[in-house]
Chains A and B, each alone.
Chain A
């Protein structure tokens, strides 16, 4: 592609090596000014790496970057900012106990004549930007008190405040609720109307369809294609991305539920502020059944999981696995009663980042006879075991068993956790946001795995903010609202709108069965 002024960003022939590993190999990206350009690729394809090169966090080993037709060398993020590039990372970089305004001006403080911080002026400027693009945020709220969606807006504001004309969003929707995603898309559109250019990384094909003009696909570090979004459907995009056809709908036979394995009875749990987050909640999961809990974030899902895994106290009620009460014991006791949990916060609860993949794989097993020898670790065994899981779950790069898990891409870190928990051979598998940050190929795999485990007689509790996921995968769909299950349906008996309404606190439909 020719270099032209029409393009806000042109990256030509970008190659990036990590040691001898080619994370990017001769990749091209041409982004038209004033467009929304999506980048699509599997986990570990090199999307974040490509954007980090553009933002000056990494230096490419080969290739050129042009901004508005001019060749540039972006040595570090400061240079990128000078060129009007802003980036919102997947993991936010905000100071928790600072206010929104303080966070936004951090590093670019406006001072009045005597070197005194001019907060008032900064605040005004921020309010201007807020108004212009409909980025509703309270400039005086502290970061720790606002939701993840709000925090993301602060990150966007931060970039705009620094004069960004080109905005990079790395998986911005992975942490958002469906409502927040809609709002984000409308913000993106208002930015485009103002002449800004947006590059967005996302695994959600629906969002690409809803938001973007053009989509560039990369696979294992290779440039595959760039297509106008209007001309392709979701299946085509998925196929291009993975290299073979992908089923977007889960294939499964009707469930054959057996005995009740897991039972929660009138459970009440308080959150860290002492308010009741889970209120008198009851639910049952049977052998060979997937129960999905649909709900908007913040309706008690987090506290429910913490209570089941004994990370927090249950105020009242019981939690029973195979008839044994486990509430208010220890996380270890829960694991020993054959409950496995895929936690939603993979970096905080799920993984020890400096540990190798193998060390992470055995974190619940190192103490079992199989993996120890007279108090020593059986390292060969752990290696062998990990190698097999890496292969079974297609964790990339292959042969990463002795690499720190920190070096894996976000999606592959997630796969490590899924592989570990599923292979525990649990009686109850709790999957909380199991596909967050995964590409469609990997999502298909995870969903298949859940169904396979179900068919093998496991009880599965799926908690997800993705309504699609709950609707598609679950045999029984529970709706959680304000800390309690407000409705329960069998799969196929209910449509998305009804569930959506209930999630938002709407009145329950008549033929719904409550708390069976």
Chain B
């Protein structure tokens, strides 16, 4: 049986943490230029390509890659597979941090950051973006509510309010857990609806009315691979046991979810007569090929082998491919495949955009490290304990 989650007893400051801090500073400086010179000064956005790296990575990919949160919660708490509870906490933490930065990413990307609250009062039910915004806002709240027990476990004895909150919320926690899954399904798919309104701009390799379904299915299939990747990174950099006893069986579910996604994706491409374009040899079709083969089909076949699933390195690489595939899919939809008729040159992110994105990523990792150090998130035993 698995150990109960607990804070890891490691010194917080390490070379890795220092690298994160320097990236955070660089990102912060780039962010300042956005508020001094405007979006045009810091980014390469134009009237023809109004969405760029921040929407593709910080927002769309951030939401997709935080899918570990709702997929593990569904498995362990809703479908009763308690054995997987060990990974729900780290996945929940990643989701909470991920969505926090999705919200921050949107806030810096919109031209009038100070007006970001306006959709709460001014509604447009026809807009997919409105729905995404509402769901993300509520889901973010739900995620932090779900985080309360974890923080309370550690600090509840010192902070009375926290302990009280924890007790009160406990009665309704089932509501929040289900709500979290429902909200996730809603906005994961609505992110796919965003570009349904722009058929003349998105390359038909990605444009399909089934985008909402594909976005949902790909989010579901990337959830566990993301958990595998982050658990691997965390446990190997902190010299903890790799938790393969949980991760290996977890990856079997991905055979199913990724399989369904790939079948729908390929069937849709064939039905629209686009699959042949893989041989086109343009940068778009190469990006498409990498997404589909290296990020989808190849790892799916590898997952079929139980040898791969049981090897720590093998599983890590396969999971990394799937995560990369979904990431590339979001980049392809919002950047690579987005080619308006009036765009005079393709959009490439500016240094400033890249720095802000890296800074955000570093901040997420920094906070993740902070949480696992001081609150009971990880259940993995240290290697020393394992060998005893």
| Chain A partners chain B | no
- B residues at A contact (CB < 8 Å): none
- A residues at B contact (CB < 8 Å): none
